[in-house]
Copies of this chain bind each other. A is one copy, B any other.
Amino acid sequence: MKQFAVGVDLGGTNLRVAAVDETGALLEKISLPTRAQQSRETVIREMCEAIQRLSERLAGAGQLAGIGVGVPGIIYMETGTLRQSPNLPGWENFPVRREIESVLRTRVWLDNDANVAALGEQWLGAGRDVRSLCMLTLGTGVGGGIVLDGKIWRGFLGMAGELGHLVVAENGVRCPCGGQGCLETESSASAIVRKAQEALAAGRSPALGKLVQQGSAITSESVYQAAQAGDAPCREIFASAGRYLGIALASLVNALNLPLYVIGGGAAEAWDLFAPAMLDELRRRSYIFCEGSTRVEKSMLQGDAGLYGAARLVFQGDNR
């Protein structure tokens, strides 16, 4: 009998559930809001109800092989417990895997959202022709995932791939992680907003000044629009984010020598604005990159990478 897996992307804002078969074909997808202000139990119950609806509708298409769940945050892999999550406040030390398994009585694979996105890209996206890759997701923070020989590299505590906390600016700004000058403090959507607010406060950006006068908030999207319209300080903000991405990539290329580095997450949409500076910096700092065949590419599956990767976890069946 044919099998399908359910992949879940449990974000702080949206909860998405997809049924995917072993060839990577998407059978059906459900999206609903994550009611993060409700209790953790309510969110889990609503997720489980969505999974059940999907499974029942697909009963004719095959058997449910298991459920893969990508969550933002750090996970204790052995217990399937969320250690902490910036997007799911109050979920600290919540045994997510056990909770889902006890409701659905089906096996659950839990992993970090950027890890499963990396796995999805390797399975069906930008990396479908390679066995190993590294992915950076540029969002509120910067997530990371490393896939080696077709499998997520988790490290001995399951905490590997925290690439948003590569040090790129030794004397840079404080990072929520406790460190300083982490990639996340320079190249995330939040970093772009912070730098825009600094430019605004210093009166350097007429375009941002106008936006605020019109009552608009400064978001990474509005900074992007201003940069696209030619505002020099906003263009420099994206170039700066690109330079630090280039520094992080140089360290990754020199350490891991992988064939592919994928940039995803919402802020990756600004590729044209940050990629030239990123690649310049990378060329300057990595002779291995200059050997010529290392690729740096934009995510192909975009927001769906994590859904596919979560389903892939189930078919690989090796984790836990």
Contacts and interface: CB of A to CB of B under 8 A. Distances in A.
A165 B252 contact: no
Contacts of A252: 255
A223 B285 CA distance: 29
A214 interface: no
A270 interface: no
Nearest to A156: B259
Interface in A72-124: none
Interface string A285-314: 111101101000000000000000000000
B132 A156 contact: yes
A286 B255 contact: no
Given A166-B251, A247-B170, A256 B179 contact: no
Contacts of A288: 157, 159, 162
A127 B258 CA distance: 25
B286 A157 contact: no
A256 B159 CA distance: 8
Given A170-B169, A250-B167, A179 B284 contact: yes
Interface in A241-257: 247, 250-252, 254-257
A319 to B, nearest CB: 15
Chain A interface size, as a band, is: 35 or more
Q: Is the interface of A mostly helix, strand, loop or mixed?
A: loop
A66 interface: no
Interface stretch (A17-25, A147-155, A203-211): A147-155
A276 B177 CA distance: 21
A254 B163 contact: yes
Kindly report how many copies of this chain are found in the complex they form together.
Answer: 2
Contacts of A162: 254-255, 257, 288
A286 B182 CA distance: 10
A299 B162 CA distance: 26
A193 interface: no
B161 A255 contact: yes
A250 B15 CA distance: 33
Contacts of A284: 178-180
A180 B247 CA distance: 10
Contacts of A258: 155-156
A146 B155 CA distance: 13
A144 B177 contact: no
Contacts of A139: none
Contact of A257 (B130, B160, B168, B291): B160
A158 interface: yes
20 contacts: A153-B256, A155-B256, A155-B258, A156-B257, A156-B258, A156-B259, A157-B288, A160-B255, A160-B256, A160-B257, A162-B288, A165-B251, A165-B285, A166-B254, A167-B285, A170-B247, A178-B287, A179-B286, A180-B285, A252-B255
Given A155-B257, A157-B288, 10 more contacts: A130-B156, A144-B255, A155-B258, A165-B287, A166-B251, A167-B247, A178-B285, A179-B250, A182-B285, A251-B251
